[in-house]
Amino acid sequence: MTLADSQLREYLNHLIVERGLSKNTISSYRRDLERFLADSQISDFTLVSSSEVENFVALARARGLAESSVARAVVAIRNAVAFICKEAHALNQIKDVKPPRVKMRLPKALSIAEISDLIAATQSPGDPRALRETAIVELLYGTGARISEIVALNIVDVMKVDGGEVLSLRLTGKGGKVRVVPLGSFARSALDQYLVRTRPTLISKNREALFLNDRGGRLSRQTMWKLVSEAARRANISTEVSPHSLRHSYATHLLDGGADVRVVQELLGHASVTTTQIYTLVTIDKLRENYASAHPRAKSR
C-alpha cells in the first residue's frame, strides 16, 4: 500500500466516523479520489499541485465525463488534500483551486395529472404486492423523501398517535440528520394498506425494515428505482421518471400551492435555503409562461 492509499483510507474513515456522511456519499468520494490517484500517479496527497488537478480535469472531460461529475470530483480532491495537509502540517498547494462552474439545471417536476396517473399505474386489485408499490410511490411524493431515506426506513420510524393512525414519518437524511415529516391522507391510507395486508406476508429474516422484498429482506434502492420506472412506463409518461422526480414534484407543488420556502426547506431536509430556492425558479418560469400566453400586453406584435 502506497502512502497515498494510506492517506485516502484515513480520509475516508474521517468522513465515516467524524463527519457521519452517508454510504452513497462515501462511495462517490472514494470513486472520484481513486480515479484521481490512478490518473495522476501521485504518491503523496500533500504534494498535489494545481497543474495535476488541471490535467485530471482535462482528461475527465476528454473521456466525456459530465461537467457536474468533474466539478464533484474536484471538490472531493480539494477536500481530501485540505484534510491530509492539515493532519500532516504540510502546505496545501491547491487551496485556491476552484471546481468548474456548472450551469444550474432546473429540476423537472411532473404535473399533478402525471402524478395521479403514476399512482394509478401501481394499483392492481387483488395483488397484495401492488400495495407495496403504491405505498412507496405515495410516500416518495407525499414526503419528498430521498430514495435512500425511504429504503432506510424501519418500522419504528412510522409514527402513530397512541398506536393508532399513522400521522408522520421519521426520516434520516444526509449526515445522519433526522427530521419528522407529516403524511397526507392518501399516503397514510396506502401505508396502512401495505402494513396490514402485505408486510405481514413478507416478514421472515428482517423484522425491522419497513419495506421488504419478496425474500423478506430490506428492499434495495435499485429495486425501488425499477418499481417507479416501470410504473411510469405503464402510465405512458413520456419523460424519464425516477424517485427523485417525485421529490422535485413534491417541492414544486408545495411552492405552487403557496407554501413558505423555509417550511419546504425543513421538509426536504436541505441544510441551506439556497438549495430549496432552486425550486422557486421553476414556479417563476411557470408564472412567466402563463403571463406570456394570457396577458394581452405580454404578446409580441
174 is an active site residue: yes
Q: Which of 72, 78, 253, 270 is catalytic?
A: 270
Angle at alpha carbon of residue 166, lines to 165 and 170, rounded to 5°: 155
215 is an active site residue: no
Q: Which of 247, 248, 250, 253 is catalytic?
A: 247
23 is an active site residue: no
How far is it, in rounded angstroms, from Cα 126 to Cα 275? Answer: 42
Q: Which of 14, 31, 170, 174 is catalytic?
A: 174
297 is an active site residue: no
11 is an active site residue: no
How far is it, in rounded angstroms, from Cα 164 to Cα 96? Answer: 56
146 is an active site residue: yes
Q: Which of 35, 132, 146, 199 is catalytic?
A: 146
Kindly tell me the burial class for residue 70, based on how many C-beta atoms sit within 10 Å of its own C-beta (0-12, 13-18, 19 or more). Answer: buried
Q: Which residues have a catalytic role annotated?
A: 146, 174, 244, 247, 270, 279
